[in-house]
Chain A
Amino acid sequence: MNTTLIAKKESITTYLKETFNDIGKVTLFASRFFREVIKPPYEIKELIKQCYIIGYKSLPLVTVTGFIMGLVLTLQSRPTLAKFGAESWLPSMVALSLIREIAPVITALICAGKVSSGIGAELGSMKVTEQIDAMEVSAINPFKYLVVTRILATTFMIPLLVIFADGIGVIGGYIGINIHGDVNLYRYLSQVLESITFSDIFPATMKTFFFGFFIGMIGCYKGFNAANGTESVGKAANSAVVTASLSIFIIDMIAVQLTDLFL
């Protein structure tokens, strides 16, 4: 009994040590990003390329999920609102739910799956095949070329993808409403726009910058620090998705609390 307790205590201590060690390393990694991002030379070409890969190439996935989000949300909410005779509130409810919460979180989670794992696997594979070392011995800063560009790209592309998903979700909502009813597009859109205020859009957009930053940073951190061996590439990708997804929920929780406090 005593031995089991000691073993449990030791495993908890080890787990806590590793967790705090990881948090420390991620913090150092992030602080290196802020140091490197302001220092020239700037890898503009690579940044544009990454924006294209992360932003433009994610559009089909974001379009489909954004549309389904709006459609399903409308179809699922309709019966409940109908019970209270509040069907006319459907456009406002769908728009507010999408813009404030559903579109940012779902889009960020999808990007965590697609982008963060992609970055983790790509950099992990470059690490184990010594491509990062090759850059370093050629006197090229791999952190600047690979990490800074990717984090900047995710930080600016994820908010744009979320705004795009908001729009597509609203269109999905319009189609959802018209499955069981007949609402004019002009009337639907005016009701949507009337219900949205600055305090709905601003905090929701601000938190997407943080989502983007963490998606990029965690993917890069996991890939850049992959151990040697091909197995670690899979681990880096997997761990990037899990950690990025978890961080999205934590950021969202903090953002909601701050919004409640200040707006």
Chain B
Amino acid sequence: MEDEIKKRNIIQKSEADVPVIEIKNLHKSFGTNEVLKGVNLTVNKGENLVILGKSGSGKSITIKCIVGLMRIDEGEINVFGTDITKLHIAELNGIRVRIGFLFQNAALYDSMSVRDNLGFTLKRHAKDLSAEEVESQIKEILDSVGLSEAIDKMPSELSGGMRKRIGLARTLILKPEIILYDEPTTGLDTITSREISELIIEIQKKYKTTSIIITHDMPCAKLTGNRLMVLKEGVMHAEGTYEELEKSEDEWVRSFFL
């Protein structure tokens, strides 16, 4: 028993020692269009990293590569210390359940109610849970995103902000250690954008998550990001805190803050 605890502690220690996400020399092309030309980045445990960049600069592609939705041409993507590009699908799925992904338009399953959207994933990964336990977890998560009353609604009945919250709830239901946000505030009004940004911080504190946030929304970046990176022409061009980048000597970087 003691050996087992010791072994677990060693594994936990070794996981804490390495960055949660580490990307080395990531290349990705679509035909002749080389979008990512050697991206390098590191995200440490408990950190919120914001990635800024112009539309089409490859921000979303970068996070899609992290969950194995896109095959990379060259490079290394280490998640929890494992290079996911070399994993078999079953092993990759083992990593995927520890990562949450909030899509730009929430990607809720249209044919399912909010309850089923959340339960669909949970029932498949926590088969030992009883129906009552599934229901109580769904309610708990919906409560944490402030939308308990939407449990029986269909996605078509939800507003843009509500869809994002439900998308986030669906992501949180598996208690992920990493959350990747793909433009979480796009298409939302200023007030709702702020609410979503505050929710991201709340989730970071409550669930101790590590996150990458792709955004164009500077108030969201300021509020949620512990560190910011700017992607330009397929490589990471600048890095720093919000305040540091705001005062950057690079005019192109400063233009994001105008």
Interface, chain A (partner B; CB < 8 A) = 125-126, 129-131, 133-140
Other-chain residue from A125, A134, A138 in contact with B174 (beta carbon distance below 8 A)? A138
CA distance A137 to B67 in the complex (A): 6
CA distance A57 to B51 in the complex (A): 48
- Which A residues lie within 8 Å of B69 (CB)? 133, 136-137
- B128 interface residue per 8 A CB criterion: no
Q: Is the CB of A130 within 8 A of B107?
A: yes
Other-chain residue from A125, A134, A137, A140 in contact with B99 (beta carbon distance below 8 A)? A137
Q: Is the CB of B105 within 8 A of A139?
A: no
- Which A residues lie within 8 Å of B109 (CB)? 126, 131, 134-135
- B256 interface residue per 8 A CB criterion: no
What's the minimum C-beta distance from B125 to chain A, rounded to whole angstroms?
Answer: 7
Other-chain residue from B67, B101, B110, B174 in contact with A129 (beta carbon distance below 8 A)? B110
Q: Is the CB of A133 within 8 A of B174?
A: no
Q: Which of chain B's residues has its CB closest to A133's CB?
A: B69
On whether A138 and B110 interact (CB within 8 A), knowing A129-B105, A130-B103, A133-B69, the answer reads no
On whether A139 and B103 interact (CB within 8 A), knowing A125-B110, A131-B110, the answer reads no
Q: Which of chain A's residues has its CB closest to B99's CB?
A: A137
Q: Is the CB of B110 within 8 A of A137?
A: no
- B162 interface residue per 8 A CB criterion: no
CA distance A125 to B108 in the complex (A): 12
CA distance A130 to B97 in the complex (A): 18
CA distance A125 to B96 in the complex (A): 24
Q: Is the CB of A126 within 8 A of B174?
A: no
- B124 interface residue per 8 A CB criterion: yes
Other-chain residue from B94, B101, B125 in contact with A134 (beta carbon distance below 8 A)? B101
Q: Is the CB of A133 within 8 A of B103?
A: yes
CA distance A165 to B115 in the complex (A): 39
Q: Is the CB of A129 within 8 A of B97?
A: no
Q: Which of B69, B93, B107 has the largest number of chain A CB atoms within 10 A?
A: B107
- Which B residues lie within 8 Å of A137 (CB)? 67, 69, 96, 99, 101
Other-chain residue from B99, B104, B120, B124 in contact with A130 (beta carbon distance below 8 A)? B104
Q: Is the CB of A130 within 8 A of B96?
A: no
> Chain B 74-104, CB within 8 Å of chain A: the 1/0 string?
0000000000000000000110110101011
CA distance A125 to B67 in the complex (A): 22
Q: Which of chain B's residues has its CB closest to A122's CB?
A: B111
- Which B residues lie within 8 Å of A126 (CB)? 109-110
> Chain B 208-236, CB within 8 Å of chain A: the 1/0 string?
00000000000000000000000000000
- Which B residues lie within 8 Å of A136 (CB)? 69, 96
What's the minimum C-beta distance from B256 to chain A, rounded to whole angstroms?
Answer: 26
- B190 interface residue per 8 A CB criterion: no
- Which B residues lie within 8 Å of A140 (CB)? 120-121, 124
Nearest 5 Cβ contacts at the A-B interface: A139-B93, A134-B107, A130-B107, A139-B96, A137-B101
- Which A residues lie within 8 Å of B125 (CB)? 138-139
21 A-B pairs (CB sep. < 8 Å): A129-B105, A130-B103, A130-B105, A131-B107, A131-B109, A131-B110, A133-B64, A133-B103, A134-B109, A135-B109, A136-B96, A137-B67, A137-B69, A138-B96, A138-B121, A139-B93, A139-B96, A139-B97, A139-B124, A139-B125, A140-B124
CA distance A38 to B67 in the complex (A): 26
On whether A129 and B107 interact (CB within 8 A), knowing A134-B101, A137-B69, the answer reads yes
CA distance A131 to B107 in the complex (A): 5
CA distance A168 to B57 in the complex (A): 60
Q: Which of chain A's residues has its CB closest to B122's CB?
A: A138
> Chain B 119-135, CB within 8 Å of chain A: the 1/0 string?
01100110000000000
Q: Is the CB of A134 within 8 A of B96?
A: no
- Which A residues lie within 8 Å of B99 (CB)? 137
CA distance A131 to B120 in the complex (A): 13
> Chain B 57-79, CB within 8 Å of chain A: the 1/0 string?
00000001001010000000000
> Chain B 166-183, CB within 8 Å of chain A: the 1/0 string?
000000001000000000
